Amino acid sequence: MRFAKLPEHVAMTLDGNRRWADAHGIPRKLGIRYGIKKTEEIMYEWTSRFEKEFGVKPFSELTIHALTLQNMGRPKEQIDELMDAFVETFSVARLNKSYKNVRVIFGGERHLLREDLQMEMNLLETATKSFTKYKFNVCIAYDGLAEIERAVKLAKDFPYKDISAKDLMYFPEAKPIDLYIRTSGEKRLSNFMLYYIGYAEMFFVDSLAEDFTYDQFIEIMDEYANKRQRRFGK
Protein backbone atom coordinates (compact mmCIF):
# COMPACT_ATOMS: atom_id res chain seq x y z
CA MET A 1 0.00 0.00 0.00
CA ARG A 2 1.16 3.50 -0.82
CA PHE A 3 -0.06 6.78 0.58
CA ALA A 4 -0.35 9.80 -1.71
CA LYS A 5 -0.30 12.27 1.17
CA LEU A 6 -0.35 11.58 4.89
CA PRO A 7 -1.71 13.90 7.57
CA GLU A 8 0.67 15.95 9.65
CA HIS A 9 -1.69 16.36 12.60
CA VAL A 10 -4.14 13.66 13.69
CA ALA A 11 -6.64 14.16 16.51
CA MET A 12 -8.66 11.45 18.23
CA THR A 13 -11.53 11.15 20.68
CA LEU A 14 -11.28 7.59 21.96
CA ASP A 15 -14.82 7.32 23.29
CA GLY A 16 -16.67 4.44 24.94
CA ASN A 17 -14.45 3.35 27.85
CA ARG A 18 -17.30 2.96 30.33
CA ARG A 19 -19.55 1.18 27.83
CA TRP A 20 -16.70 -1.19 26.99
CA ALA A 21 -16.17 -1.99 30.67
CA ASP A 22 -19.90 -2.61 31.19
CA ALA A 23 -20.02 -4.89 28.13
CA HIS A 24 -17.10 -6.94 29.49
CA GLY A 25 -18.40 -7.09 33.04
CA ILE A 26 -15.44 -5.30 34.59
CA PRO A 27 -15.35 -2.25 36.87
CA ARG A 28 -15.45 1.04 35.00
CA LYS A 29 -12.24 2.17 36.68
CA LEU A 30 -10.47 -0.69 34.90
CA GLY A 31 -12.09 0.38 31.64
CA ILE A 32 -10.43 3.76 32.13
CA ARG A 33 -7.03 2.10 32.35
CA TYR A 34 -7.67 0.02 29.24
CA GLY A 35 -8.59 3.23 27.45
CA ILE A 36 -5.35 4.90 28.49
CA LYS A 37 -3.45 1.82 27.36
CA LYS A 38 -5.08 2.09 23.93
CA THR A 39 -3.92 5.70 23.67
CA GLU A 40 -0.34 4.68 24.45
CA GLU A 41 -0.60 1.80 21.99
CA ILE A 42 -1.54 4.20 19.20
CA MET A 43 1.17 6.74 20.03
CA TYR A 44 4.06 4.38 20.65
CA GLU A 45 3.28 1.01 19.00
CA TRP A 46 1.16 1.83 15.97
CA THR A 47 3.53 4.59 14.85
CA SER A 48 6.50 2.23 15.07
CA ARG A 49 4.64 -0.51 13.20
CA PHE A 50 3.51 1.93 10.50
CA GLU A 51 7.06 3.18 9.99
CA LYS A 52 8.36 -0.38 9.62
CA GLU A 53 5.62 -1.42 7.19
CA PHE A 54 5.46 1.69 5.00
CA GLY A 55 8.77 3.49 5.56
CA VAL A 56 7.16 6.78 6.65
CA LYS A 57 5.60 8.25 9.76
CA PRO A 58 1.79 8.12 9.84
CA PHE A 59 1.74 11.66 11.25
CA SER A 60 4.02 14.07 13.11
CA GLU A 61 1.54 15.24 15.72
CA LEU A 62 -1.21 13.44 17.64
CA THR A 63 -3.79 15.08 19.89
CA ILE A 64 -5.90 13.04 22.31
CA HIS A 65 -9.01 14.11 24.21
CA ALA A 66 -8.19 12.67 27.65
CA LEU A 67 -10.59 14.54 29.94
CA THR A 68 -13.11 17.25 29.11
CA LEU A 69 -13.94 20.21 31.29
CA GLN A 70 -17.48 18.86 31.45
CA ASN A 71 -16.18 15.49 32.70
CA MET A 72 -14.90 17.32 35.77
CA GLY A 73 -18.52 17.52 36.94
CA ARG A 74 -18.75 13.76 37.43
CA PRO A 75 -18.88 12.29 40.97
CA LYS A 76 -15.66 12.81 42.92
CA GLU A 77 -15.01 9.06 43.14
CA GLN A 78 -14.96 8.78 39.35
CA ILE A 79 -12.70 11.79 38.95
CA ASP A 80 -10.28 10.45 41.58
CA GLU A 81 -10.12 7.13 39.72
CA LEU A 82 -9.28 8.98 36.52
CA MET A 83 -6.62 11.09 38.18
CA ASP A 84 -5.08 8.05 39.89
CA ALA A 85 -4.79 6.38 36.49
CA PHE A 86 -3.26 9.48 34.90
CA VAL A 87 -0.73 9.94 37.71
CA GLU A 88 0.43 6.33 37.37
CA THR A 89 0.55 6.50 33.55
CA PHE A 90 2.49 9.76 33.36
CA SER A 91 4.95 8.62 35.99
CA VAL A 92 5.68 5.39 34.14
CA ALA A 93 5.89 7.24 30.81
CA ARG A 94 8.50 9.59 32.21
CA LEU A 95 10.67 6.74 33.43
CA ASN A 96 10.21 4.41 30.45
CA LYS A 97 13.04 4.91 27.96
CA SER A 98 11.00 3.40 25.10
CA TYR A 99 9.03 6.67 25.04
CA LYS A 100 11.97 8.66 23.69
CA ASN A 101 11.49 10.97 20.71
CA VAL A 102 7.89 11.82 21.69
CA ARG A 103 7.35 15.29 23.13
CA VAL A 104 4.33 15.39 25.44
CA ILE A 105 2.38 18.65 25.81
CA PHE A 106 -0.65 19.08 28.08
CA GLY A 107 -3.43 21.60 27.59
CA GLY A 108 -6.43 22.48 29.73
CA GLU A 109 -7.47 24.01 33.01
CA ARG A 110 -4.64 22.50 35.03
CA HIS A 111 -5.57 24.32 38.21
CA LEU A 112 -8.69 22.13 38.46
CA LEU A 113 -6.60 18.98 38.71
CA ARG A 114 -5.07 17.43 41.81
CA GLU A 115 -1.64 18.73 42.75
CA ASP A 116 0.03 15.33 42.37
CA LEU A 117 -1.33 15.06 38.83
CA GLN A 118 -0.21 18.58 37.96
CA MET A 119 3.27 17.70 39.22
CA GLU A 120 3.49 14.55 37.07
CA MET A 121 2.30 16.50 34.03
CA ASN A 122 4.97 19.14 34.56
CA LEU A 123 7.67 16.52 35.06
CA LEU A 124 6.70 14.62 31.91
CA GLU A 125 6.64 17.79 29.82
CA THR A 126 10.09 18.73 31.09
CA ALA A 127 11.48 15.23 30.53
CA THR A 128 10.32 15.14 26.89
CA LYS A 129 10.83 18.78 25.95
CA SER A 130 13.86 18.12 23.73
CA PHE A 131 12.27 15.26 21.76
CA THR A 132 11.40 16.14 18.17
CA LYS A 133 10.21 13.08 16.23
CA TYR A 134 6.58 13.26 17.37
CA LYS A 135 4.41 15.68 19.30
CA PHE A 136 1.77 14.22 21.59
CA ASN A 137 -0.81 16.75 22.75
CA VAL A 138 -2.97 15.64 25.67
CA CYS A 139 -6.17 17.62 26.32
CA ILE A 140 -7.02 17.29 30.01
CA ALA A 141 -9.68 19.31 31.86
CA TYR A 142 -10.11 20.79 28.38
CA ASP A 143 -12.84 22.56 26.42
CA GLY A 144 -12.20 24.07 23.00
CA LEU A 145 -14.62 26.97 23.37
CA ALA A 146 -13.22 27.85 26.81
CA GLU A 147 -9.72 27.75 25.30
CA ILE A 148 -10.63 30.31 22.64
CA GLU A 149 -12.46 32.59 25.08
CA ARG A 150 -9.51 32.45 27.49
CA ALA A 151 -6.97 33.26 24.77
CA VAL A 152 -8.98 36.20 23.42
CA LYS A 153 -9.38 37.64 26.91
CA LEU A 154 -5.66 37.26 27.66
CA ALA A 155 -4.68 38.80 24.31
CA LYS A 156 -6.90 41.81 24.95
CA ASP A 157 -5.20 42.54 28.27
CA PHE A 158 -1.68 41.49 27.25
CA PRO A 159 0.89 44.30 27.56
CA TYR A 160 2.63 43.45 24.27
CA LYS A 161 0.71 44.33 21.11
CA ASP A 162 2.43 41.75 18.92
CA ILE A 163 0.86 38.85 20.85
CA SER A 164 -2.10 37.20 19.11
CA ALA A 165 -4.82 34.95 20.53
CA LYS A 166 -3.13 31.96 18.85
CA ASP A 167 0.03 32.58 20.87
CA LEU A 168 -2.03 32.20 24.04
CA MET A 169 -3.81 28.96 23.12
CA TYR A 170 -3.00 25.83 25.09
CA PHE A 171 -1.17 24.47 22.04
CA PRO A 172 0.27 27.55 20.29
CA GLU A 173 2.69 25.45 18.23
CA ALA A 174 0.06 22.97 17.04
CA LYS A 175 -0.52 22.67 13.32
CA PRO A 176 -4.06 22.65 11.92
CA ILE A 177 -5.68 19.25 12.37
CA ASP A 178 -5.77 17.27 9.13
CA LEU A 179 -7.58 14.14 10.29
CA TYR A 180 -10.03 13.58 13.14
CA ILE A 181 -11.15 10.16 14.38
CA ARG A 182 -13.86 9.46 16.95
CA THR A 183 -14.79 6.00 18.19
CA SER A 184 -17.99 4.52 19.69
CA GLY A 185 -20.38 5.64 16.96
CA GLU A 186 -20.81 9.16 18.31
CA LYS A 187 -20.76 11.85 15.61
CA ARG A 188 -19.92 15.12 17.30
CA LEU A 189 -16.86 17.17 18.27
CA SER A 190 -17.78 17.86 21.90
CA ASN A 191 -15.94 21.20 21.77
CA PHE A 192 -12.69 19.42 20.90
CA MET A 193 -9.84 21.53 19.44
CA LEU A 194 -12.27 24.00 17.83
CA TYR A 195 -9.56 26.50 16.91
CA TYR A 196 -7.48 23.89 15.07
CA ILE A 197 -10.02 21.56 13.45
CA GLY A 198 -11.79 23.74 10.89
CA TYR A 199 -10.75 21.84 7.74
CA ALA A 200 -10.09 18.40 9.21
CA GLU A 201 -11.30 15.29 7.45
CA MET A 202 -13.73 13.51 9.80
CA PHE A 203 -13.92 9.77 10.43
CA PHE A 204 -16.43 8.22 12.84
CA VAL A 205 -16.13 4.53 13.68
CA ASP A 206 -18.61 2.35 15.57
CA SER A 207 -15.97 0.46 17.56
CA LEU A 208 -15.55 1.39 21.20
CA ALA A 209 -12.16 2.88 22.09
CA GLU A 210 -10.57 -0.36 23.30
CA ASP A 211 -11.80 -2.28 20.22
CA PHE A 212 -10.40 0.21 17.70
CA THR A 213 -7.74 -1.71 15.76
CA TYR A 214 -4.58 -0.96 13.83
CA ASP A 215 -6.22 -2.36 10.67
CA GLN A 216 -9.09 0.12 11.05
CA PHE A 217 -6.53 2.88 11.46
CA ILE A 218 -4.79 1.82 8.23
CA GLU A 219 -8.12 1.84 6.37
CA ILE A 220 -8.76 5.39 7.55
CA MET A 221 -5.27 6.49 6.56
CA ASP A 222 -5.73 4.92 3.12
CA GLU A 223 -9.03 6.72 2.55
CA TYR A 224 -7.59 10.03 3.77
CA ALA A 225 -4.44 9.75 1.65
CA ASN A 226 -5.71 8.14 -1.51
CA LYS A 227 -9.47 8.69 -1.83
CA ARG A 228 -10.44 12.04 -0.31
CA GLN A 229 -9.69 15.35 -1.98
CA ARG A 230 -9.04 18.31 0.29
CA ARG A 231 -9.96 21.58 -1.42
CA PHE A 232 -10.06 23.92 1.57
CA GLY A 233 -13.07 25.71 0.15
CA LYS A 234 -11.47 26.34 -3.26
Question: What is the set of active-site residues?
Answer: 15, 71
Is 145:105 a contact under the CB 8 Å cutoff? no
Question: What distance in Å separates the CA atoms of residue 46 and residue 152, rounded to the nearest whole number?
Answer: 37
Question: Hey, is 46 helix, strand or coil?
Answer: helix
Is 173:223 a contact under the CB 8 Å cutoff? no
Is 139:66 a contact under the CB 8 Å cutoff? yes
The half-sphere exposure of 59 on its side-chain side, counting CA atoms within 13 A, is: 31
Cα torsion 116, 120, 126, 132: sign: negative
